[in-house]
Structure 1
Amino acid sequence: MDSAELSILLTAEGLRLLDSLPLYSAGDSVKQVSALRKAGHSPELVAAVLTQSRLREKARAKFGAFADRLLYTPAGLEQATRLKVAAMHAGRFRDAGIGVADRSGGRIADLGCGIGADALALAALDLSVVAVERDEVTAAIATYNLAGFPSAEVVLGDAETFPLDGVEAVYLDPARRTGGTTNTSRLTRPEDYSPSVDFAFGLAERLPAGIKLGPGFDRSLIPAEAEAQWVSVDGQVVEMGLWFGALARPGIRRSALVVDESGAAELTAESDSPDAPTRELGDYLYEPDGAVIRARLIGALAERIGAGMLSRDIAYLTGDELVVTPFASAFRVRERLPAGEAQLKKALRDRRIGTLEIKKRGIDVDPATLRTRLALKGSETATLILTRVDGAHAALLVDRVTG
C-alpha cells in the first residue's frame, strides 16, 4: 500500500464502501470487482477496498471479530501481535502500575508500533501510550486504528531517536522483515532488526521494558536479568517475549504461556529445567506444547504430570496414568509396531487402518511421503508416532486423547 492508495481509502466513500462489503472470498473477487466498477467506483478505490477486505479476512485469525474495525498493511498484519496475547502483555504494564492514567507517572512508549495492535491493547486498559512508527503509511493506519482511544497518541518518528522524556516504560516489537508495507522478506540476523536488538537491550538497562522477538531467537543472547516467555496460540508458537525491570516477575526467568479458545495457562520456572529421567514406555505418551519445548521446561512438565522421558533428548514423555494438561497433547498407547516399512505397512493393513496421523521426532522421515508409500486402506483411524526408544527406531500406534 502506498500513500495514494491510503488517501483514497481514508475518505468517507472509501470507508463506507469497505464496511459494506461481504466477507472476502477469493473465488468471488472477480465478480466483486465487476460489480463495484459497474456501480461507478473508480478502479483505484475498488483495488484499495478489496485489498483491505482481503486483509481483514486474514486478520480474523489474530483479532477475531475486532478485525473488521481495523485497517492493515500486509507487512503490519504479518508482524502484529494477536489480540489475546497483546491484552496479556498490556496487563503486565497495568499490574506494575505503569502508564496508569490517574497516576502522575509517565507514558508507555511503543517503539516501532506497526499498525498499532500492542498500543491498542494498552490503550484499551486506559494506559497512556505513545506509539512511534517511522513509515508514514503505517503510522497513518495506526492513527486510524487508535483514533477511538484518547490515552493513545501516534507519532511519526524513528524508534531509536525518539526522545524518551516523560516515558515510564517501553515496549518494542523490532521489525524482523525488510522495510515497506508489502513484498517484504524476513530478516535472519538480530543486528538487522529495526530497532536493533542491541538498542532494545540498552533501553532495558534504563527503563522497564518488554521486547517481542521470534520464538527461534538465539537463547544465548537472552540477558540473564530478563524473564523470557514463549507463547503458543492454538498449538503454534508465535513469539518470545523478554521482560525487564518492574515488568519481569520475581523468581521467574522461563515461562511457557499456552493460549487457546478455552483460555490461557502458564508453566513457569526460575531457569531451564533439567530433563526428567528416561523410563520404559507406559500406557500414555505426551507431546509437550511447542512453547514448553522452546522454554526448556519439559522436565518441569514431567514432574507435574508424573511422567518420564521416552528417550534421551527427544521431547516425548510417557507415563502409566492419564493426566490431562494444557501443556501437552496426550495419546493412549495401543501397541508398538515393527519399525521397518514393509512390516509396518502389513501391520497397519491387518488392523484396517485407512486414516493415519503420522507424527515423528528424532528420526529422519517425511510423513507425507511415507503415508503415500503405506497405501493405507480400511475404515479405522489412528495416530502413528515414529521416534526412538532406548536408542532404536520405534513405531508406536496410539490414539489421541481428546476432551
Structure 2
Amino acid sequence: MDPESFAQLLTPPGWALLDGLPPYDEGTAMHLGEALRAQGLDPGLVAAALTQSRLRARATSKFGEFASSMLFTPDGLEQATRLSVAVRHARRYLDAGLSYVADLGCGIGGDAMALAGLELRVLAVEADEMTAAIATVNLRQLPEAEVRHGDAFEADLSGVDGIWADPARRTSAGARLRDLRSYSPSVERLLALRESVPALGLKLGPAIAHGDVPDDAHAQWVSVDGTVLEADLWFGPLAPEGPGRSALVVTGDDAAVLAQEGTPSSPVVTAPSGPVAEYLYEPDGAVIRAGLVADLARDLDGHLLDPRIAYVTTSLAHPTPFAHGFRVLDEFAFSLKRLRAYLRERDVGTLEIKKRGTAVVPEQLRSQLQLRGRASATVALTRIGGAPRVLVLERLGRDG
C-alpha cells in the first residue's frame, strides 16, 4: 500500500468506502474492484480498501470483532499477538503493580491495545512511519496510549516502569530470521534496558534455543489450540515464578501452565522409556519446546516409547491439558501392505495420521492406502528402538 493511497483511505470518504464494503470474498473481490473503479473511484484507493478488507477478514482469528475497525499491514498482522494472549501478557504488567509501559517496536499496536485496555498508560514506539500511522488509528479510542514514530532506543522513557517488545523476526523479503542478533529492534540492546527498567518482557520466536535465553529470565512457550505461537521472556517483577522454563497451553477459554524450576538453560531431562502400554499421550508443542516432556511423563505416571521421540505411554488414563490422549487399540511393525490390509479389513475410509520420528508424508501415505470404507480410524506412525511401528488409536475425550 503506497503512502498516497493510505492517506486517501484515512479521509472520511476513504473510511466510508472501507466500512461500506461487503464481507471479503476472494471469489468476488476482482469484480467488486472493477465495479468501484467504474464508478470513478481512484484505483489506488480501491486497491487499498480491498486490501484492508482482506486483512480484516484474516485478522478476525486474532482480534475478533475488533478487527472490523482496525487497519493492518500484511507483515504486521502476521506478527501480531492474538488478542487473547496479549491480554495475558498485559495482566503480568498489571499484576506487577506497573503503571506506564513502553511498547518498543509496537507494529500495528495489538499489544498496546491490550495494555491500554487494562488502563495502563502506554508509550508505543514504531520506526516505520506508515506502521506507526496504522497503530495510531488502531489505538484511537484508547486515550491511555500514545504512539510515537521513531527509533525504539531513542525514545524518552522518563517515568516508564515496564517495557514490552515484540521485535521483527523476518527480513524485508519475508524470510524468517533465526539469529537473535538480526531481530529489529535488537534483542541484545533490548536486554540491556533491564538494567534501568527491570520489568522487561520480550516476545520471540518459539524456535529460540534454551541456551540463548539469559539465566535471569523466565522463558514461557505459548500454544493456542495446539499451535505453538511464541516464546516469551519475562524479567524482574514480571516473572514472579522466578527464572526457569514453562509452557502456557491455551485451549479455547481455558489455560494451563506446566513449569520447571531452575534456569532457562538447565539441561533437558530425558524421561525413561519402555514398552507400549494401554494409553498414548501426544504432548503439546509448547511442552516439547520448553523441554518439559519428562515432567509431563512423570505427572502422567508414564514413560516414553523411545528416548528420542515425544510420545508418552501410560497404563492408566490421566486427564491433562498438556497432551492429547488416546487409547491404544493395536500395534504392529510398519509396512504399507500390512497397514492397507488392516484398515480395509475394518472398512476404514477416513484415516487420521499422526507421526513422530518418521519421514512418512501423511498425504502421500493416505493416497497410497487407497481407502474407500465407511469407518474412520486414527493411527500414529513412529519409531520404537529404531524400528518403524504403527499404533492404532482411539482418541480420548477431554476428561481422558
Q: Which TM-score bucket, shorter chain as reference?
A: over 0.9
In 1: Cα distance, 2:352 partner to 2:56 partner: 32
Structure 1 segments unaligned to the other structure (5+ residues): 100-106
Residue matched to 2:311: 316
Residue matched to 1:262: 253
The answer to whether the Cα contact below 8 Å between 1:252 and 1:268 also exists between their aligned partners in 2 is no
Residue 363 (structure 2) pairs with residue 362 (structure 1): no
In 2: Cα distance, 1:257 partner to 1:118 partner: 18
In 1: Cα distance, 2:170 partner to 2:5 partner: 22
In 2: Cα distance, 1:241 partner to 1:186 partner: 18
Q: Kindly provide the amino acid, as one letter, of the partner of residue 133 in structure 2.
A: A
| Alpha-carbon shift at residue 40 of structure 1 (Å) | 3.8
Of 30-39 and 53-62, deviating more is: 30-39
The answer to whether the Cα contact below 8 Å between 2:106 and 2:165 also exists between their aligned partners in 1 is yes
SS at match of 2:143: coil
| Alpha-carbon shift at residue 206 of structure 1 (Å) | 3.1
Residue 36 (structure 2) pairs with residue 13 (structure 1): no
| Alpha-carbon shift at residue 390 of structure 1 (Å) | 3.6
The answer to whether the Cα contact below 8 Å between 1:338 and 1:344 also exists between their aligned partners in 2 is no
Residue 149 (structure 2) pairs with residue 156 (structure 1): yes
Query: In the alignment, which of 167, 170, 175 is matched to residue 174 of structure 1?
Result: 167
Residue matched to 2:124: 131
Residue matched to 1:383: 378
In 2: Cα distance, 1:294 partner to 1:76 partner: 25
In 1: Cα distance, 2:14 partner to 2:316 partner: 59
CA-atom RMSD, angstroms? 1.6
Q: 1:127-184, CA deviations, whole angstroms, 9 ceiling, x for partnerless residues? A: 01100001100000000111111111000110122232222121111111234xxx54
Q: Kindly provide the amino acid, as one letter, of the partner of residue 42 in structure 2.
A: S
Q: Kindly provide the amino acid, as one letter, of the partner of residue 25 in structure 1.
A: D
Residue matched to 2:97: 97
> Structure 1 vs Structure 2: percent identity of aligned residues?
51
Alignment of 1:260-299 (within 5 A): 260-271=251-262, 274-299=269-294
Alignment of 1:88-237 (within 5 A): 88-99=88-99, 107-179=100-172, 184-207=174-197, 208-237=199-228
In 2: Cα distance, 1:341 partner to 1:49 partner: 51
Structure 2 segments unaligned to the other structure (5+ residues): none
In 2: Cα distance, 1:245 partner to 1:378 partner: 58
Residue matched to 1:73: 73
Q: 1:85-117, CA deviations, whole angstroms, 9 ceiling, x for partnerless residues? A: 100000000000111xxxxxxx21110000000
Residue 344 (structure 2) pairs with residue 353 (structure 1): no
In 1: Cα distance, 2:129 partner to 2:182 partner: 21
Residue matched to 1:103: none
| Alpha-carbon shift at residue 252 of structure 1 (Å) | 5.0
The answer to whether the Cα contact below 8 Å between 1:130 and 1:153 also exists between their aligned partners in 2 is yes
Calculate the TM-score normalised by the size of structure 1: 0.94
In 2: Cα distance, 1:324 partner to 1:68 partner: 38
In 1: Cα distance, 2:51 partner to 2:349 partner: 42
The answer to whether the Cα contact below 8 Å between 1:252 and 1:269 also exists between their aligned partners in 2 is no
Calculate the TM-score normalised by the size of structure 2: 0.94
SS at match of 2:250: strand
| Alpha-carbon shift at residue 277 of structure 1 (Å) | 1.7
In 1: Cα distance, 2:143 partner to 2:69 partner: 17
In 2: Cα distance, 1:58 partner to 1:395 partner: 38
Q: Kindly provide the amino acid, as one letter, of the partner of residue 84 in structure 1.
A: S
The answer to whether the Cα contact below 8 Å between 2:271 and 2:307 also exists between their aligned partners in 1 is no
| Alpha-carbon shift at residue 282 of structure 1 (Å) | 1.4
Residue 240 (structure 2) pairs with residue 249 (structure 1): yes
SS at match of 1:27: coil
Aligned length: 393
The answer to whether the Cα contact below 8 Å between 1:18 and 1:50 also exists between their aligned partners in 2 is yes
In 2: Cα distance, 1:276 partner to 1:193 partner: 34
Of 323-332 and 138-147, deviating more is: 323-332
SS at match of 2:328: strand
Query: In the alignment, which of 365, 390, 399 is matched to residue 394 of structure 2?
Result: 399
| Alpha-carbon shift at residue 294 of structure 1 (Å) | 0.3
SS at match of 2:381: strand
In 1: Cα distance, 2:133 partner to 2:84 partner: 24
In 2: Cα distance, 1:280 partner to 1:72 partner: 51
SS at match of 2:154: coil
| Alpha-carbon shift at residue 311 of structure 1 (Å) | 1.4
SS at match of 2:51: helix
Q: 1:235-268, CA deviations, whole angstroms, 9 ceiling, x for partnerless residues? A: 1100000001111123451111111223211111
